[in-house]
Amino acid sequence: MSYFQSISLTNYRNFFDTNFYFDKGCNIIIGKNGSGKTNILESISLFEKGRGFRKDNIQNLINYQTNEKFFKISSIFNNNNNEIFVSVFSHNINEKYLKKILVNESSELNSIKYFGNLLSIIHFLPEMERLFVASPIMRRNFLDRLIYTNDKNYSLLISNYKKTLYARQQVLKKINYDEEWIANLEKNIASFGSTIYKKRIDYIDTINLKLKKLDVLKNYSNNIAIKIKDKFLLANKEIINDKERYIAVLNNNRKLDLLAGGCTIGPHRSDIIGYSIDNNIGINQFSTGQQKTVVLLIILAQCKFLIEDHNLKPIILLDEVCSHLDSDNRELLLHLTQLLDVQIFMTGTEKNFFSFLSTKAQYCNIT
C-alpha cells in the first residue's frame, strides 16, 4: 500500500510553516470556508506531474505575506513500509517560476519516474457534481485524467497532439507555406490523434465493464455507461487504424480549418456522454444529486480497475464531497472508505457532515 504519512507546507498558499500527519486510511479535514482545506488537497495533487488539480500558475502558489519568493511542500511517502522523502518546490529562472520535484534529495529522472509510477491520484472537486451539463472540455479532461492515473505517458501524448495542432494552424496562416512541412505536421496529428482515440475507446470499454460489475448500489435504479460522441470518428471509424485516411481528411480541411481558426476534426472535438443503459436517458437529464452519484460510481469503478487490473492503490481526494449527499452517495463513500483499503482525504466545513463514516476516520481541524 502507498500513502502519505505527513506533509509540511512552507510559504504555500495561506500556510506559512505547517505540518500535517495522516492516517493511511480515511482523513477528514474540517474548517471554515477560506481556511485552506482545498489548498491541502491541492498540495497533495502537486506531487504528480503538472500544476495540480487547479492548474494554477506556480507563482500563485507562493505565500507572499512572508516576503519570500518560493514555496516548498515536503512529504514522507510510505510505499509498502518503505519511506520515501519527496519534496515539491518552486524554482525561479529569470522571473519564470517552474515546479521542481526531489525524490530522496535526488532530481534524477529515474528517481522521479520511479516515484511517479508509485503514485496515482483521483480527485473530486465540487464543480464535478454537474460534470455532464458542463462544457465538453471538462468531460474530456475528466476522462483523460482517469486514463493518466494508470498510463503516465498519456499526458505527454495529449501535450504533443495540442502542440502539433497549434503548429499546423500557424503554418496555415502563411500565404505560401511549405507543403512538405505541413504534410509532416498532419502526419503527426493523425498519429497522435488516432492513438488518443484508441486509448479513450479502450478505456471506456474497460470502465463500462467495471461499472456493470459494481454491486455497491444494489437498489440503484440506473445502470450507467459512458461513450464518445464524435461525428468525425463515427463517420470514419477506420481512421484509428488507417492513418492515411485521417491525413487525407486533414489535407482536405485546410481552408476550412484556416477560416475556423483551428482544426475542426479530431479527439479535441469529442464529447464524453453518460447515459442510462435501461432507458437511454442522458445523465445530463439527471438531478444534481444523481449526477454526483454517477461521477462517484465512475471514480469507484476506476479504483477497482487500478486495484484489480494493475495492483495499484490510488490516493483519493474528495473536496467538499458532502453537499447533495443522499443515501446512495453516503453508501458510495462508505464503500470507498471501508472496503477499498486506500488512502482518502475529504474536506468539509462541519464534523457532523461525516457522522455516517466509521470512527476509524482521522479528523484534522484547520483554524
pLDDT at position 36: 93
Q: What is the DSSP letter of 132?
A: G
pTM of the model: 0.92
Specify whether 262 is located in the same domain as 150.
Answer: yes
More confidently predicted of 180 and 241: 180
Residues 41-63 as b/e (b if ≥16 CB within 10 A, e otherwise) read bbbbbbbbeebbbeeeebeebbb
- Give the per-residue pLDDT at 353: 85
Query: Which of 108, 104, 109, 69 has the alpha carbon at shortest distance from 89?
Result: 69
| Percent of the chain with pLDDT strictly greater than 90 | 72
Say what the pLDDT of residue 210 is: 93
**Look-up: residue for cell 481512421?**
239
| Same domain? 77 vs 134 | no
Instruction: Indicate if 292 and 336 belong to the same structural domain.
Output: no
The parent domain of residue 333 ranges over: 1-120+313-367
Q: How confident is the model at residue 242 (pLDDT cuts 50, 70, 90)?
A: confident
pLDDT for res 298: 94
Q: What is the pLDDT of residue 68?
A: 78
Is the domain of 146 the same as that of 44?
no
347 and 228 in one domain? Answer: no
Q: What is the pLDDT of residue 67?
A: 79
CA distance 330 to 29: 17
- Within 39-166, strands assigned E span 72-79, 82-93, 96-103, 121-124
pLDDT at position 118 over 70: yes
CA 245 to chain centre: 32
Amino acid 218: pLDDT: 66
Greater pLDDT, 273 or 360? 273
Residue 175, number of CB atoms within 10 A of its CB? 4
Is the model more confident about 96 or about 263? Answer: 263
Residues 94 and 208 in one domain: no
Domain count, the chain: 2
Q: Who wins on pLDDT, 248 or 351?
A: 248
Q: How many angstroms separate the first and last alpha carbons of the chain?
A: 31
> For residue 208, what is the enclosing H or E element?
helix 179-213
Q: Are residues 39 and 67 in the same domain?
A: yes
For 25-69, write each residue's pLDDT tens digit: 999 999 999 899 999 999 999 999 889 999 999 999 999 887 778
Q: With the C-alpha atoms ordered 121, 127, 128, 134, is the resulting torsion angle positive or negative? A: negative
Same domain, 4 and 100: yes
Report the Cα 81 to chain-centroid distance in Å: 27
The predicted model gives 110-136 an average pLDDT of 93
One-letter amino acid at 4 equals F
Do 183 and 209 lie in a common domain?
Answer: yes
Cα angle 119, 122, 128 (rounded to 5 degrees) comes to: 160
Q: Show Cβ contacts of residue 17 under 8 Å, excluding neighbours closer than 6 positions.
A: 8, 9, 10, 11
Please give the mean pLDDT across all residues of the chain. Answer: 91
Residue 124 CB coordination number (10 Å): 21
Per-residue pLDDT reduced to its tens digit, 63-90: 988 777 899 999 999 999 999 999 999 9
| Sequential DSSP letters for 170-196 | HHHTSSS--HHHHHHHHHHHHHHHHHH
Residue 299 has pLDDT above 90, yes or no: yes
Q: Residue 216 — very low, low, confident or very high, per pLDDT cuts 50/70/90? A: confident
Position 337 pLDDT exceeds 90: no
Q: What are the pLDDT digits (tens) for 251-285?
A: 999 999 999 999 999 999 999 999 998 888 999 99
Phi, psi of 20 (to 5 degrees): -130, 140
Residues with Cβ within 8 Å of residue 30, at least 6 apart in sequence = 37, 347, 348, 349, 350, 351, 363, 364, 365, 366
User: What is the reported pLDDT for 170?
Assistant: 95
Average pLDDT of span 328-346: 86
pLDDT band at 359 (very low <50, low <70, confident <90, very high): low
- For residues 178 and 167, state if they share a domain: yes
Residue 220 has pLDDT above 70, yes or no: no
**Within this chain, do residues 251 and 335 fall inside the same structural domain, yes or no?**
no
Confidence band (pLDDT; 50, 70, 90) for 302?
A: very high
User: Per-residue confidence at 307, pLDDT binned at 50, 70, 90?
Assistant: very high
Q: Residue 229: in which H helix or E strand, if any? A: strand 224-229
Report the alpha-carbon distance of residue 358 to residue 213 in Å, rounded: 25
CA distance 103 to 166: 34
Beta strand 344-348 with 224-229 is unpaired
Euclidean distance between CA atoms 5 and 81, whole angstroms? 11
pLDDT surpasses 60 at 221: no
Statement to judge: residues 289 and 351 lie in one domain:
no
Angle at 344 between CA 338 and CA 350, to 5 degrees: 95
Whichever domain contains 239, its CATH number is 1.20.1050.90
Residue 229 is predicted with a pLDDT of 95
**Alpha carbons 206 and 219: distance in angstroms, whole number:** 23
The candidate with the shortest Cα–Cα distance to 342, out of 13, 25, 14, is 25
